[in-house]
Structure 1
Amino acid sequence: MPGENLTRVEAQQRRAIVDTHSYEVALDLTRGDEIFGSRTVVRFAATEGADTFIDLISGYVRTITLNGRDIPVSAHVDSRIALNGLASENELIVDADCSYTNTGEGLHRFVDPVDGEVYLYSQFEVPDSRRMFTVFEQPDLKATFQFTVTAPEPWQVVSNSPTPEPKKHGDGTATWRFEPTPRISSYITALIAGPYESTFSELTSASGRVIPLGVYGRKSLWQYLDADYIFDKTREGFAYYEEKFAYPYPFAKYDQLFVPEFNAGAMENAGAVTFTETYVFRSKVTDAVKERRVVTILHELAHMWFGDLVTMKWWNDLWLNESFAEWASTIATAEATEWTAAWTTFNAMEKTWAYRQDQLPSTHPVVAEINDLEDVQVNFDGITYAKGGSVLKQLAAWVGIEQFFAGVAAYFAKHEWGNTEVGDLLAELETTSGRELGTWAKKWLETAGVNTLTPLIEEAPDGTISRFAIVQTAPADYPTIRPHRLGVGFYSLRGDALVRVHRIELDVDGDRTDVPELKGIARPDLVLLNDEDLAYAKIRLDERSLQTAIDHLGAISDPLARSLVWGAAWDQTRDAEASASDYVDLVLRNIGAETESTTVRTTLAQLQLAANSYVSPEKRDATRERVADGLWALAQSAEAGSDSQLQFVTAFASAASTAQQWERVRQVRDGEVTFAGLDIDTDLSWQLLVSLAAGGAVTAAQIDAAQAADNTAKGGEFAAQAKAALPNAEAKSIAWESLVSRDDLPNTIVRAAALGFTQPAGVDVLGEFVPRYFDMLLPVWNSRTYQIAAYLITGLYPAALANVALRDATRAWLAANGEAAPALRRLVNENLAGVERALAVQERDAQ
């Protein structure tokens, strides 16, 4: 990574000199397995006589020509080409060879193990279009992009503009010449090429234009791709956004491509969105995953306006892309699709992520300070996405949803095809709402940390409330006290149900807000602050409410209220204010009644973290056994064929910790024990095999046999995870060497193997690798791409140890490496924070 960074100051200086007009990029994809030809013609204005640079990551530059004069190729150093003595108008031509990657960055090349077919796709956010062509790699230097691509004739070739008819050369190759794009940023340009299968549809935009729609996927997965459903959700999203944004879809077509070995959920390339193949369901998946796919589809569609039409000037305003797409996709899912409980899902998943991220030492304001590209790489986090989306939900409630959408519409109309900063949007919202937003923005967008809201309840002798107040606190490092719009719900037992009997909505500000309206009302069994989840804040349950939750959480009829109570109980546990053992009791007693798939999914993950890392060490073995037994009982009693049945079976397999439990896993996988309505399909069989591997109940040869039977990309990932999960030192060392000493494994295999390596069942062996972990940090950071380095630094950290020795070793490395890259130190600091929190929660649990 050295030499590939770009600072904000450098970007500002370059923008002051350069104004880009157009790119013509010619790519030759017929030069073999490792490199492709890349010839770029860039036309741009500049301050006459000025010097600057342009970006290109290439192992071989043939020629560089600036305004008709040859420049020595030695001008290309460390991913930059120096440009000196610029004219007022310039033409730069660079002819180079670039390299395919297997890291999911730049132009990724994948060979399908099923049929040997080659598939390519680009992934450029944040700074990786320079891996495919010569470019001023920063978002505020927009231009038109015209791609010409030579590739094997049978391939499909897709980019931002509609795919043209290729010119066939008679030698098995052909050339596609695309029309220029509108003025867009380089990171949302795209190229997807290979023998993809495809199907097409169309819709009529609010502008009256017919918009072609396409869905693409690999041949070997095509039978599983439910394109008609994807088209339906896309149409619903188009109609919703075009109405609410009062701006027609801005591009010529809309393709959605499911591509192999993808690092993220999806990427908002203009008119050519790429998705992870996780969203191609070859086996049964939970409703949580199905709903997440819909939210992702609408998230990327929202980006066509938020990010692609109007783009942030620099990455400190990344939230103008991601927070808005997160909020917009959730409200669109709730209001335009059948997934009407999307806000419950948002609370269970996104807010949980946000609250966790906001309590790490790396927390930052929504509008972050981004000094360079390495800063932004680590900033695709729970603040930029989930906290920002939560804050926007509160802002929309505060200014009024109609006024909010009106401000957004004005923002698009004023800044179409341009670049913006936070104040540009707030100015439009102030105009449409009549509210002053500078104070709000300072507290919510420019400061970090999450507030905690606690009910203060005094009770009269007759059982009524004599005083009710809401106490707001802030962490010492981030002491901002913020205004909140929230509800207070009172819930009481009525027969077998816990029902809401009273609710008020109010503004809360300051350290303490008295609520006289609640005086004289009978004290309920459960008091729920932030009822209906308008605010972004951790909430506390008073002692009586917490006991009610432990005994009756499943009896609450409203799924969003249940999610809030689940979240409050988890926050109190993570903050060492409640016992982890009590949290385990709460989950095992109530999760069987939970109906919302994402709530179940999130809560089961938290249950296993509590059992593996949060209960006191002397209770850990017994708790892990009890959790797995409890999940087995829940699986047996779940409705046949239900979503919860599948979740409980897979959670049981993941939690198994004794020989008897692994024998049950084997019996399920082999069909000796069956569950009505549950088929042991390909992916579930693999999940059970990974569990058996973690328990040492299968051999590497058996894993190889399973991979031979499922010789697919997904099978390869599961096999890598299973082998790395084998709980003996030899297997762990083999996995370690393949990940750290070699650099040839593709991104998804790295990710899967790291996940298996740190499986908690093998925790006894992980201690041997602590010194090796810290020895590898600097070499990995300095030699690998960002994405692979991040996978190794976070994925191989032996967090399951959760002990003082790991904490002290991590602190020692940080103390000794104060000059290491800030982004690297951030990743290590976040690892440390998890261990420090676990130790505090263990101490509370031991009391």
Structure 2
Amino acid sequence: MPGENLTREEARQRAALLTVDGYEVHLDVRSATGPDTGDGPRTFRSVSTIRFRCAEPGASGFADLVAPSVTAVTLNGRALDPAAVFDGARIALDGLAAENELVVDAQCAYSRTGEGLHRFVDPEDGEVYLYTHYEPADARRVFANFEQPDLKAPYTFSVTAPAAWTVISNGAQDGPDEPVDEASSLRRFVATKPIGTYITAVVAGPYHVVRDHYSRELPDGTVLEIPLGALCRKGLARYFDADEIFTVTKQGLDFFHEHFDFPYPFGKYDQAFVPEYNIGAMENPGCVTFREEFVYRGKVTRSAYERRANVILHEMAHMWFGDLVTMEWWDDLWLKESFADFMGSFSQVEATRYTNAWVTFANQRKAWAYRADQLPSTHPVTADIHDLEDAKLNFDGITYAKGASVLKQLVAYAGRDAFLEGSRRYFKRHAYGNTRLADLLSVLEETSGRDMAAWARSWLQTAGVNSLTPQITCDAQDRITELAVLQEAPAEHPELRPHRVAVGLYRREGTELVRYARAEVDVAGPRTVVDGLAGVERPELVLVNDDDLTYCKIRFDEGSLATLRAHLGDLTDPSPSSSSRGYPLARALCWSAVWNLTRDGLMPARDYLDLVERFAGAESDIGVLQMLHSCARGALVHYAAPSWRAEGSARLARTALAELRLAEPGSGHQLAWARFLAQVAVTEADFQLLRGLLDGTARIDGLEVDQELRWALLAALAAGGAADGALIDAELARDDTASGRRHQVRCLASRPDAEVKAAAWKRVVDSDVLSNALTEATVAGFDQPGQRELLKPFAEPYFASLERVWRERSIEIAMAVVRGLFPILQDDRRTLGLTDAWLAEHPDAAPALRRLVREARDDLARALRAQECDAAAA
């Protein structure tokens, strides 16, 4: 739609012209209930009153609104013709005064895509649930506003809704419900502090609510009181472990108050777990929203609880990094996301029971960053964001995980105390305001005494990932004469950065591979000598970046790599009396390093899978194990030579079954191996076992086959052609819930049948009948590794449909389709040629769309290179 894609320059001009003093927003959502008629979009009434000043009286401007219709527009008491001033995305404002009041009465549309005000009907009981999600710019789908992060203002919300509903917003409710009619009431909420449009929020519906309270005495003797709330759908109430959520919440509030020296500024702290959410969570102050999959319906591993705790703490860190102090424009999105990602793990390790969070960070979050940083779309942590479509795509592994990794390096470079003191000054200096990179660097220079400008140029303003490789020479007595670290950079991003690293030396002691020496060094330039290790006994393994202080790809000398091939699993946990905490992390780093070697086509996929086959069963960290499962499947599907896939599949399935039978009954490891077996099952014997577990004729001691595991088993059977539609529908009858329907849709689309694939394609590509969650489930089911030939006919239609999909669908749905249906399983030169031809023939396609296709093309080309490496190993 013209005008919907706000540009950075337009935002700058408007910010120079306008100052927003406040909003009053009233939403009437009574229309959310009642049957769907199918006559156009279902709408609700939205009335916005905006008070703002203009630096140039007489000037023109515009407000943002995406809505089916506008009933009335009044500017400074003057009625404007909606047909003349509203184009579907913007409201033209002419002849502005020094002080202005704009009132917009509109009919806005409920969303089915998770953008704006999302409406969900629970199939279990027919209840309706609403919630908002805006980032980066979907508040304009709910109320008229100035949709950019640097026009912060206080907001006063009021909502008319069914009287039986719970309604929450950013602020606490202001007074009792006010009856409107027999069935509905008006709720008013206290004004917020100045915040950006994208973090305002409303959640409404018959939610199950649990209440708690947090209090803390502040340094000045006053007591801070924070009411806590946790919400989920009624259908999930029996699974809702609110006590665990509140425990992590309180631990986080303690940690951030202790370290930030700025009291939580937003009053209450509600956390709502909502259906069909597009992302993990959103940091709306006082009204944080999470995807309801964090309410676990079945048994999950400890790593799932750890991940949820990390997300809770990540969003809490945003209350300071992002909500209190906000980036000026999306270029500096990292000023909130990188910090929240770092602080999530930092606070987890220091304040909760999840003390292995840095292991998870090294093994999972960094894997995301390394992949993103090697794509053709990689960008500096501080990005160049021209418009809102650019911004949407920049919620990526660079902004989150690389940025967090860089901050971890910054803490090593500047010092922990200097970093935290810099953060405290940053909050106090810029509270309720907007900042740029320079604002943060200035306080860090004050507290650390380091040259932050030079550091930022290398780490924040250049793209690409460096590789660090040890180079070692020893004398005749097997003593190190020189150990150096070689630094390399890709040709397209040649920056060699300063790295503060630890270099660890390992040797075998009995059956274990243990660290016996360690030195820290500032790596600079192409070659740096580690003076602190000269004269030390020759190691069997040199681990550059031990303790994971910096962001880099770890490489190995030949001797170290040989040691890993033979003894990777022998990098053991320290004894309880040991002061070292490096070994679980060291093992995770080595697993990450060999995965990067595999992705880069430097280690054959079959060698990586051999390591998994021999050592994954002994992996003690459940998060690392589950990451190994994911990587092993990826290596087999994408990086193994086609001629070896059948053998590799059989070996991986045998390994999964053997480890499942060996795993401790009832353990998280047993559950992880059971789920992995379902993912890699290939033989009739595999499927017979899965069917037996599903129907109760087979049993593995300690393995509880709950409803979520049942769906995992059924998904494997469906994709393998061992479950028909009747069996899938029967399972839905057992679990006719929102979660069950998502699983059913995925299973149905997974079946190896040409008509099934054609129908799934039509539902996703040629119509918009599916919600965001069901679109995601259909796409996930459509693309099955064992169905390459069946999916072959869809490669050319994919490219033919791209521009239409991008034009006709919301950006959230379009991104899911473009990413999810790219023919990555048609991994041959023909598909690469089709991709190159589309890029060549569509130079004027939307830049965000071209970026997605270029990223997919890069994944395909990487897979082909890795397959060549694996084939050569034969």
TM-score, length basis structure 2: 0.96
Report what 2:51 is aligned to. Answer: 43
Give the residue type in structure 2 aligned to 1:67. N
What percent identity do the matched residue pairs reach?
49
Cα deviations by residue, 1:606-629 (Å, 9 ceiling, x for unpaired)? 101111110111111211121111
Q: Which amino acid aligns with 2:394?
A: N
CA contact (8 A) 1:2 1:782 kept: no
1:399 equivalent in alignment to 2:411: no
Query: Residues of 1 paired with 2:2 and 2:840: CA distance?
Result: 22
Q: CA deviation at 1:687?
A: 0.5
| 1:415-454 map, 5 Å | 415-454=430-469
Distance 1:619 1:460 in 2: 43
Q: 1:365-404 counterparts in 2 under 5 A?
A: 365-404=380-419
Please point out which of 728, 734, 752 is paired with 2:759. Answer: 734
Distance 2:629 2:475 in 1: 39
* 8 Å CA contact 2:519, 2:530 repeated in 1: no
CA distance in 1 between partners of 2:551 and 2:478 (Å):
31
Q: How does 1:800-811 map to 2 (within 5 A)?
A: 800-811=825-836
169 and 317 in structure 1: CA distance in 2 versus 1, 3 angstrom threshold: same
1:254-307 CA distance string (max 9 Å, x none): 000011111111000011000111110110112121100000000011111110
Which residue pairs with 2:234 in the alignment?
219
Of residues 190, 211, 215 in structure 1, which corresponds to 2:201? 190
- 1:682 — aligned with what? 707
CA distance in 1, matches of 2:622, 2:75: 58
Question: Quick one: distance in 2 between partners of 1:767 and 1:703?
Answer: 25
Match of 2:111 among 95, 101, 109: 101
User: In the alignment, which residue of structure 1 is the partner of 2:190?
Assistant: 179
Q: For the residues of structure 1 that align with 2:693 and 2:519, how far apart are their CA atoms?
A: 50
Alpha-carbon distance in 2 for matches of 1:718, 1:551? 41
- Give the corresponding residue for 2:575: none
Per-residue displacement from partner, 1:52-71 (whole Å, max 9, x unpaired)? 11000111101111111111
Structure 1, 461-470 or 280-289: larger mean CA deviation:
461-470
Q: How far apart in 2 are the matches of 1:516 and 1:145?
A: 59
Higher mean C-alpha displacement, 223-232 vs 332-341: 223-232
Matches within 5 A, 1:478-517: 478-517=493-532
Matches within 5 A, 1:531-570: 531-557=546-572, 558-570=583-595
CA contact (8 A) 2:155 2:192 kept: yes
1:602 is the counterpart of 2:627: yes
- In structure 1, the partner of 2:147 is 137
In 2: Cα distance, 1:637 partner to 1:671 partner: 20
Indicate whether 1:156 and 2:171 are aligned: no
Partner of 1:353 in structure 2? 368
Asked if the contact 1:156/1:196 (under 8 Å) is kept, the reply is yes
Look up the SS of the partner of 1:640 in the other structure: coil
Question: Helix, strand or coil for the counterpart of 1:350?
Answer: helix
SS in 1 for 2:762: helix
Q: Which moved more, 1:673-682 or 1:459-468?
A: 459-468
| Residue identity matched to 1:533 | D
Q: Is residue 120 from structure 1 mapped to residue 125 from structure 2 by the alignment?
A: no
2:672 aligned residue: 647
Matching of residues 457-496 of structure 1 within 5 Å: 457-496=472-511
Q: Distance in 2 between matches of 1:423 and 1:725?
A: 50
CA RMSD of aligned residues (A): 1.1
Tell me the equivalent position of 1:146. Answer: 156
Where do residues 438-837 of structure 1 align in structure 2 (5 Å cutoff)? 438-557=453-572, 558-837=583-862
Aligned to 1:5: 5
Q: 2:636–2:649: 8 Å Cα contact kept in structure 1?
A: yes
Query: 1:19 — aligned with what?
Result: 19
- Name the aligned partner's letter for residue 314 of structure 1: W
| SS of match in other structure, 2:563 | helix
Alignment-mate amino acid for residue 683 of structure 2: T
Query: Is contact 1:659-1:695 (8 Å) kept?
Result: no
Cα distance in 2, alignment partners of residues 727 and 163 from structure 1: 53
Unaligned runs of 5+ in 2: 34-41, 573-582
> Is the contact between residue 159 and residue 188 of structure 2 (CA under 8 Å) also seen in structure 1?
yes
- Which deviations, in whole Å up to 9, do the C-alpha atoms of 1:33-60 show, x marking residues without a partner? 5110001111100120111110001111
Query: Which deviations, in whole Å up to 9, do the C-alpha atoms of 1:364-400 show, x marking residues without a partner?
Result: 0000000000001000000000000000011011111
* More displaced stretch, 572-581 vs 409-418: 572-581
In the aligned structure 2, how far is the partner of 1:2 from the partner of 1:631? Answer: 53
Find the residue that maps to 1:679 and give its secondary structure: coil
Alignment of 1:69-84 (within 5 A): 69-74=78-83, 75-84=85-94
Match of 2:29 in 1: 29
Hey, what's the Cα distance between the residues in 2 that align with 1:4 and 1:632?
A: 52
AA at the equivalent of 1:664: L
Partner of 2:36: none
Contact 2:104 2:144 in 1 (8 A): yes
The SS at the match of 1:463 is coil
Could you tell me which amino acid in structure 2 is paired with residue 547 of structure 1? A
Task: Tell me which moved more, 666-675 or 33-42.
Answer: 666-675
Structure 1 position 131, deviation (Å): 0.4
User: Which runs of structure 2 are paired with 1:251-290 in the superposition (5 Å)?
Assistant: 251-290=266-305
Alpha-carbon distance in structure 1 between the residues aligned to 2:826 and 2:680: 16
1:85 match: secondary structure = coil
Q: Is the 8 A contact 2:776 2:816 kept in 1?
A: yes
Inter-partner Cα distance in structure 1 for 2:381 and 2:828: 32
Q: Secondary structure of the equivalent of 1:755?
A: helix
1:556 and 1:440 map into 2 onto residues whose CA distance is 34
Match of 2:478, as an amino acid? G
> In structure 2, what is the Cα distance between the partners aligned to 1:412 and 1:161?
21
- Measured after TM superposition, the shift of residue 523 of structure 1 is 1.8
CA contact (8 A) 1:551 1:589 kept: no
TM-superposition CA deviations, 1:194-252 (whole Å, max 9, x none): 01111111111435221100011111101111111111111110011011111000111
- The Cα offsets for residues 467-517 of structure 1, whole Å up to 9 and x where unpaired, read as 321110000000000000111111111111111111111111100112243
Aligned-pair CA distance for 1:550:
2.2
Deviation at 1:697, TM superposition (A): 0.5
Deviation at 1:464, TM superposition (A): 2.8
Question: How far, CA to CA, are the matches of 1:601 and 1:776 in structure 2?
Answer: 36
Which of 69, 72, 75 is equivalent to 1:66? 75
CA distance in 2, matches of 1:370, 1:644: 43
TM-aligned CA deviation for residue 32 of structure 1: 4.7
Q: Is contact 2:518–2:533 with CA below 8 Å preserved after alignment?
A: no
Distance in 2, matches of 1:542 and 1:750, equals: 46
Q: 1:661 to 1:805 in 2, by over 3 A?
A: farther
Distance in 2 (CA, whole Å) between partners of 1:664 and 1:254 is: 47
Distance in 1, Cα, partners of 2:236 & 2:112: 20
1:794-823 CA deviation, whole Å, 9 max, x = no partner? 111121232222211111111111111111
Say which is worse superposed, 379-388 or 485-494, in terms of deviation.
Answer: 485-494
Q: Which residue of 1 aligns with 2:96?
A: 86
Question: Which stretch of the first structure deviates more once superposed, 442-451 or 764-773?
Answer: 764-773
The SS at the match of 1:281 is coil
- Distance, in Å, in 2 between the alignment partners of 1:601 and 1:832 is 27
For 2:38, the equivalent position in structure 1 comes to none
Amino acid at match of 2:856: N
d(CA) in 2 for partners of 1:86, 1:605: 57
Secondary structure at 1:456 match in 2: strand
Alpha-carbon contact 2:665-2:701 (below 8 Å) kept:
yes
